[in-house]
Amino acid sequence: MRKIADSTVRRLSLYLRFLEEFEGQGIETISSGALAGRGGTTSAQVRKDLSFFGSFGKRGLGYSVPELVQALRQILGLTRHYRVALIGAGKIGSALVQNRGFRRRGFDFVAIFDRDPAKVGQELGGVRVEDVRQLEASLGRNPADIAVLVTPPEEAQSVADRLVHLGIKSILNFAPLQLAVPADVTVKTVNLALELEALAYHLANPT
Amino acid sequence: MRKIADSTVRRLSLYLRFLEEFEGQGIETISSGALAGRGGTTSAQVRKDLSFFGSFGKRGLGYSVPELVQALRQILGLTRHYRVALIGAGKIGSALVQNRGFRRRGFDFVAIFDRDPAKVGQELGGVRVEDVRQLEASLGRNPADIAVLVTPPEEAQSVADRLVHLGIKSILNFAPLQLAVPADVTVKTVNLALELEALAYHLANPT
């Protein structure tokens, strides 16, 4: 399969969400226009996005909702479960582990690490917090697919290096810095302070 | 001032972070190359980004760190404080309110709303949680600059409509949907499930 832009993957995720809503309402077919309207895009964009992956829908009839849901789940890799390790059991980390939506989507937090001795041994969302020094021992025995990194910025790169060394190919990074990783490792960075600053910029510079 | 792309604003925020680190280390001048290296970009990009806003630095001498810090704070609108209202005092919302980094940056959570009677009246980060039905009364008396929306998706649009009606121009949205707002309102959406799904896509479709 050829390389698909991140922005396309993002829209496919959104389409899937809307389609699941439609499915929940018992709607069986849907036009590209209705899907576009819900996603803030155009029906041409919807058709183009879906055309990357094959031929869906019938001209004049629209898309079969259950078929498209199934196809998008397959495309996005959501027909299986992913083992997720959390590093950093602070407030944001704890909130993520306890999010039921992630689990429903197939993202299972299976390991939690922290360097704070007061947190080690506690349970979060049914998972015992381990000492981050046990990262290699623990993930060596029970590998994770995805690591969620919520450490202070000064520790993030060294933890990321250890995760990469363990063979982890996917990191969701909440630390406010750009991680350096090999080309075969995917990092998504969520920087909440940056989002707030972008809002501040717009308030300071109204157009 | 002409319109600056969001990606530029984002890089300026990152530069500011690095410069503050340099400042903390007592470094007084810095080359565009050093700044670029830290930010995962090129020195040409750094010079271009900064050129939007005036003339900084001297050829061969680099940028004065304190001058550039000051200029970037000004550009980004970070020389003042912003009043932030949180709607949705769940786990993610609570974690945001209690984040010391935001406050340090000048983002002060001054109001918190929830619809859960068990939460109303409790304190979070020194702020009393109010009933979301009091949104208009409370923000009418004490307006907010920025709203952080962490409600369930089915309530997000109606709350956003009320915020817009109250004159709020900046929304940080954590609900997994695209909010419809007038053109003069800026929305930044953080969709954590989408980030995880993008990682799943890359795991399912390794390049």
- What are the two backbone dihedrals, phi and then psi, of residue B143, each rounded to the nearest 5 degrees? -65, 155
Query: Residue B37: pLDDT above 90?
Result: no
Q: Per mean pLDDT, which range of A78-82, A167-171, B57-61, B78-82 is the poorest?
A: B57-61
Q: Which residues, listed in sequence order, are joined to residue A191 by a DSSP beta bridge? A: none
| Pairwise CB contact (< 8 Å): B146 & A184 | no
- How many domains, in total, are found in chain A? 2
Query: Residue A200: pLDDT above 90?
Result: yes
The token duo for B126 is: 């020194």
Query: Which of A82, A180, A193 has its CB closest to that of B200?
Result: A82
Q: Is residue A1 part of a domain?
A: no
Q: Is residue A128 part of a domain?
A: yes
| Pairwise CB contact (< 8 Å): A193 & B82 | no
| Pairwise CB contact (< 8 Å): A92 & B95 | yes
pLDDT, tens digit, 9 for 90 and up, residues B78-123: 999 999 999 999 999 999 999 888 888 899 999 999 999 999 999 9
In sequence order, which ranges of B40-152 are alpha helices (DSSP H)? Answer: 43-51, 65-76, 91-97, 100-104, 135-141
Q: Is residue B42 part of a domain?
A: yes
Residues B122 and B180 in one domain: yes
Q: Which residue has the higher pLDDT, B204 or A178?
A: B204
Query: Which of B82, B169, B200 has its CB closest to that of A76?
Result: B200
Separation in Å, CA of A104 to nearest CA in chain B: 11
Residues A56 and A131 in one domain: no
Domain final residue pick, A23, A50, A76? A76
Please tell me the distance from the alpha carbon of residue A22 to that of residue A35, in angstroms, as a whole number: 10
The token duo for A114 is: 């922290």
Q: Determine contact: A195 vs chain B, CB below 8 A.
A: yes
In sequence order, which ranges of B25-126 are alpha helices (DSSP H)? Answer: 32-39, 43-51, 65-76, 91-97, 100-104
pLDDT, tens digit, 9 for 90 and up, residues B12-31: 998 998 898 889 899 999 88
Alpha carbon distances (Å) from B198 to A184, B96, B141: 14, 23, 42
B116, B131 Cβ separation under 8 angstroms: no
Q: Is residue A202 part of a domain?
A: no
CATH of the domain at A21: 1.10.10.10
Please tell me the distance from the alpha carbon of residue B31 to that of residue B44, in angstroms, as a whole number: 11
Q: Determine contact: A165 vs chain B, CB below 8 A.
A: no
In the 3-class helix/strand/coil scheme, how is chain A assigned residue by residue? CCCCCHHHHHHHHHHHHHHHHHHHCCCCEECHHHHHHHHCCCHHHHHHHHHCCCCCCECCCEEEHHHHHHHHHHHHCCCCCEEEEEECCCHHHHHHHCCHHHHHCCEEEEEEEECCCCCCCCEECCEEEEEHHHHHHHHHHCCCCEEEECCCHHHHHHHHHHHHHCCCCEEEECCCCCCCCCCCCEEEECCHHHHHHHHHHHHHCCC
Residues B21 and B103 in one domain: no
Set of chain A residues whose Cβ sits within 8 Å of the Cβ of B203: 77, 82, 145-146, 169-170, 186
pLDDT, tens digit, 9 for 90 and up, residues B108-166: 999 999 999 999 999 999 999 999 999 999 999 999 999 999 998 889 999 999 999 99
A148, A84 Cβ separation under 8 angstroms: yes
Cβ within 8 Å of B, A 123-162: 145-146
Mean pLDDT on A179-192: 93
Residues B93 and B182 in one domain: yes
Coil, strand or helix at B188: strand
Domain range for B144 is 82-195
The token duo for B142 is: 């004490």
Q: Is residue B202 part of a domain?
A: no
Query: Residue A172: pLDDT above 80?
Result: yes
| Pairwise CB contact (< 8 Å): B180 & A204 | no
The token duo for B1 is: 């001032």
CATH of the domain at B91: 3.40.50.720
Q: Per mean pLDDT, which range of A57-61, A165-169, B35-39 is the poorest?
A: A57-61
Residues A191 and A96 in one domain: yes
Cβ within 8 Å of A, B 32-51: 39-40
Residues A60 and A87 in one domain: no
Separation in Å, CA of B75 to nearest CA in chain A: 7
The widest CA-to-CA distance across chain B, in whole angstroms, is 62
How confident is the model at residue B2, as a pLDDT? 57
Tell whether ipTM is more than 0.85: yes
Share of chain A above pLDDT 70, in %: 96
Residues A89 and A173 in one domain: yes
Domain final residue pick, B54, B76, B98? B76
Which pLDDT band, with edges at 50, 70 and 90, does B52 fall under? confident
Please state whether B185 falls in left (phi above 0), alpha (psi between -120 and 50) or beta.
beta
Residues B189 and B90 in one domain: yes
The token duo for A5 is: 């832009």
B189, B160 Cβ separation under 8 angstroms: no
Q: Determine contact: A81 vs chain B, CB below 8 A.
A: no
Query: Residue A191: pLDDT above 80?
Result: yes
Please tell me the distance from the alpha carbon of residue B163 to that of residue B194, in angstroms, as a whole number: 25
Q: Which residue has the higher pLDDT, B62 or A91?
A: A91
